[in-house]
Amino acid sequence: MAKESKLKFDKRGGVITMNARMLRSENYQTLSASSRSLMVLLHIHWRPDKWVDYGIREAMTKLCCGERTAMKAFKQLTERGFIVCEIESSFSSRTQSKSRSWRLTWMPYGNNNPSNNWEEWSF
């Protein structure tokens, strides 16, 4: 039996782990810096029982970028199979607006294993 390390993660704010195989993949390695940062921001909100609600405006604020850069990051992650839009956004001046809902393909959802759609992408 392996000896347990005395070094522990600082779990006070939560811990995020990402698949090393994905991080080493050409698909991930060739993403823009904004797209990689957006992946982490989406991952912070991930829960196994619900999709991640995250919009362009929030991405612009957190990434310190303009609308075009934030939109490109979402588009690149979608095209390369890292995220899937499950529910489109809606805007109404009379009712509450809703941002898009995303499924992170490298993470499990509900009772399903990760779909890992990102593995299917190639140049």
pLDDT in tens, 3-18: 777 777 777 888 888 9
Residue 118 lies in a domain: no
Mean pLDDT along residues 20-34: 97
% of residues, the chain, pLDDT over 70: 92
DSSP letter at 52 equals E
In a domain, 85, yes or no: yes
Cα torsion 84, 121, 74, 32: sign: positive
Q: How confident is the model at residue 92 (pLDDT cuts 50, 70, 90)?
A: low
Q: Which residues of 90-107 are buried (b: 16+ CB within 10 A; e: fewer)?
A: eeeeeeeeebbbbbbbbb
The pLDDT mean for the chain works out to 90
Q: Does residue 20 belong to any structural domain of this protein?
A: no
> In this structure, are residues 116 and 108 in contact, taking their beta carbons and an 8 Å threshold?
no
pTM score, whole prediction = 0.86
The total of structural domains in the chain comes to 1
Q: Are 121 and 80 within 8 A, CB to CB?
A: yes
CATH classification at residue 40: 1.10.10.10
The tens digit of pLDDT for each residue in 62-80 reads: 999 999 999 999 999 999 9
Residue 13 resides in a domain: no
Question: For residues 67 and 55, is the Cβ–Cβ distance under 8 A?
Answer: no
Residue ranges making up the domain that contains 90: 32-106
* DSSP-derived pairing of the beta strands 52-53 and 101-104: antiparallel
Q: Which two tokens stand for residue 65?
A: 């970028």
Least confident stretch, 20-29, 84-93, 106-115 = 84-93
Q: Report whether 104 contacts 44 (CB < 8 A).
A: no
Inform me whether the pLDDT recorded for 98 exceeds 80: no
